[in-house]
Amino acid sequence: MVLAYAGKKQLMLEMLGKGRELANELEKELTAVIVGDENHALAEEYIQYGADKVFLIRTNQEMFKAEEYTQILTGLIEESESELVLIGSNKDGKELAPRLAAKLKAGCVSECTDIHIDDGDIITERTIFSGKAVAKEKINSKQGIITVPSKTFDPLDADTGRNGDIIEKEIMVDPSRSKIIDVKEMEHSGVNVEDAEVIVSCGRGFDNREDIELAENLAAQFKGRAIGCSRPISADLNWLPEEHWVGLSGHKVKPRVYFAVGISGQIQHIAGMRDSDIIVAINKDPDALIFDNADYGIVGDLYKVLPELIDAIENAKT
């Protein structure tokens, strides 16, 4: 059996797309798991997108805690004799998968970019060394646990005629000793850097939050644009929400053009944008690493370069 779990619907649909292919190759069933709400409509949808079976789990568990979800999934994996478990690689999934793997004494591969079956073996690919290399690995344990990042695989087209089983279950967990005492939602801008055609990305070279407007004005010259940023702009300074953060620990983007403005080009940033078609760097330090990773660059003060660049592009268009 191939079992798939992600807390987010879109990611789950993508995983079901790949999961279907893997289940066919293994000649096994594909099972989706929904925890916590008795959402029959969602279960039906998962079947239309490729699942043979959906476990709808009722539980005493409230908000996500890896300790408790580990108990729920371990039971389901053992009962369904799943050999391949796909977990959505968001923050929850990334802390759940290894915990689950420890419980099952299983191999776990994080953030796979490809999965296939070779002679019955599960073979995975993932990037390592901040994007400098790709590791091809084989899972040798009875069960294999794999986390799948969003936008890695495509969902199937929905097939409204597909049939499948919805199985309701009640699983009570031993509550964790930990307690969630507060949840603060962060500001959202609703931007999706992963789909952008042109990204203007801001780094510590910007002196103030307000100055990001300069980047926005440059971006405004293009269609399908988005503002990106380096980790410190989001995580340290809180100038932009997490949705804009590009890099190893942020979003992986592949636009047609990526402008890196006031970004030094540390490898952890490069890891998130190295698949861009064209990289343009603007930095006042001629020795900045970003120039090694750029197709075009201007050595100069962004406060001088950006206004002129915006004007020049505007003129070029007319």
Partner 1 sequence: MNIIVCAKQIVNVTDIRIDKKTNKPVLQGLDNKISDIDKNAVEEAIRVRDEKGGKVTIIMVGPSEATETVKELLAMGADEALLIPWDQDYDYHVVSELLIGGIKKLGDYDIILCGEASLDLFSGQIGPRVAELLDIPQITYAQEIGADDEKVVGDRNLGDSIVTVESSYPVLITVTKEINEPRLPSLMDILGAANKPIEILEADDVVSEVSSPTVETIDITGVSMDRKNIIYEEMPVGEAVSKLVESLGKEGVI
Site for partner 1 in 181-240 (CB under 8 A): 181-186, 188, 198, 221-222, 235-236
Q: Alpha-carbon distance 181 to 170, whole Å?
A: 26
Q: Which of 249, 244, 256, 287 is nearest to 270 (CA)?
A: 249
Between residue 150 and residue 169, which ones bind partner 1 under the rule CB under 8 A? none
Q: Which of 179, 208, 210, 318 binds partner 1 (CB under 8 A)?
A: 179
Angstrom CA distances, 58 to 61, 200, 205, 257, stand at 8, 45, 50, 46
Amino acid at 73: L
Looking from the CA of 190 toward its CB, the CA atoms found within 13 Å total 0
Q: Alpha-carbon distance 32 to 43, whole Å?
A: 8
Amino acid at 11: L
By CB under 8 A, residue 95 contacts partner 1:
yes
Q: Which stretch binds ligand FAD (CB under 6 A): 7-15, 19-27, 102-110, 200-208?
A: 200-208
Torsion of CA 174, 176, 181, 184, to 10 degrees: -100
Residues in the chain, total? 318
3-state secondary structure of 14: helix
Q: Which is nearer to ligand FAD, 3 or 233 (CB)?
A: 233
Between residue 253 and residue 312, which ones bind ligand FAD under the rule CB under 6 A? 262-264, 266, 268-269, 272, 283-285, 288, 301-303
Q: Which of 27, 190, 286, 318 binds partner 1 (CB under 8 A)?
A: 286
By CB under 6 A, residue 231 contacts ligand FAD:
yes
Q: Which stretch binds partner 1 (CB under 8 A): 51-59, 158-166, 202-210, 264-272?
A: 264-272
By CB under 8 A, residue 103 contacts partner 1:
yes
Q: Which stretch binds partner 1 (CB under 8 A): 21-29, 64-72, 76-84, 206-214?
A: 64-72
By CB under 8 A, residue 279 contacts partner 1:
yes
The Cβ of residue 16 has, within 10 Å, a number of other Cβ atoms equal to: 27
Check if the beta carbon of residue 207 is closer than 8 Å to that of residue 215: no
Out of partner 1, ligand FAD, none, what residue 272 binds, judged by CB under 5 to 8 A for its kind, is ligand FAD
Binding-site size, partner 1 (CB under 8 A): 93
Q: Which residues bind ligand FAD (CB under 6 A)?
A: 203-205, 230-232, 246-250, 262-264, 266, 268-269, 272, 283-285, 288, 301-303
